[in-house]
Chains A and B, each alone.
Chain A
Amino acid sequence: MTVTSVEKDLDNLTMTLVADFAASAERVWELWADPRQLERWWGPPTHPATFEQHDLTPGGEVRYFMTGPEGDRYHGWWRIVAVQPPRSLEFSDGFADEEGRPNPEMPVTSVAMRLSDRDGGTRMELRSTFASREQMEKLLEMGMDQGLREAVGQIDALLGEG
């Protein structure tokens, strides 16, 4: 199993995931450092990502968009806080408007990624934190309320009411 543990700290709004890979740290680092490889895992299969800008230096920016099944695009950005190849990467991760400008209405998380050697392979520890409770609420508003609204609408349609 790739993911060996997941911890959720409800007070600090932090999720920590540990994954073990059968590959060297250099090889795992490539998946982050090479945009063409990053594109193959960042977005879910239904929404593959395309990275247009990818500058992994402190203060550097990354810009990408994900393309949905209908051709719909979702833009995102990273701002690099710290980077230490091939061991660690810290960045802010948010959404952007169609021009790629950070959208303050959408949630931002801080991501800290660390690679260490373990049993001939590599352990990746990934920590994702909401900058604030407000940021967390934005994610929920985006996902859950929309999901609930759609679900209620679908039930209406199924039952031929509403």
Chain B
Amino acid sequence: MVVGTSDDEVVDELLHALADATRRDIVRRCLEGESSVSRLADAYPMSFAAVQKHVAVLERSGLVVKQRRGREQLVRTEPDAVGRARQALEQLEAIWRGRAERMSELLAQVPEQGTQSRKEPGR
């Protein structure tokens, strides 16, 4: 598996992004569906520019993506398609790695009729 060299930086960005209540609220709203920056700005007692700054922090952390459509800037939580495919396949990998390990452990046990006694480690 390819491990990024800047894992710590990614985590730092993520923690910084989530350390603010407004930003967490933006993430929650965008999980429900995409929202425009101006609609988000209406939801908080702060300026459009301030909300835009929050969105920029979230964007850098990879928690949301911003897309321009016409005159609107739309914000959503969905990463790109390749990123999503990787995530989904990593979930499958984790599931099946666990299963293969458990299969291996079972095979290492002495097959028995009942389940009462397992082989004690040899002395």
Contacts and interface: CB of A to CB of B under 8 A. Distances in A.
Contact of B77 (A31, A41, A148): A148
A144 B99 CA distance: 21
B84 A140 contact: yes
Contacts of A31: 103, 106-107
A2 B100 contact: yes
A53 interface: no
A155 B90 CA distance: 25
A112 interface: no
B122 interface: no
Given A2-B100, A2-B104, A148-B31, A156 B87 contact: no
Interface of A: 2-3, 6, 8-10, 13-15, 17, 19, 21-23, 27-28, 31, 37, 40-42, 44, 109, 124, 126, 128, 130, 133, 136-137, 139-140, 143-145, 148-149, 151-152, 155-156, 159, 161-162
Interface of B: 1, 18, 21, 24-25, 27-28, 31, 77, 81-82, 84-93, 96-108, 111
A23 B105 CA distance: 11
Given A21-B107, A162-B21, A15 B89 contact: yes
A17 B89 contact: no
B21 A156 contact: yes
A44 B92 contact: no
Contacts of A15: 89, 92-93, 96
Nearest to A13: B85
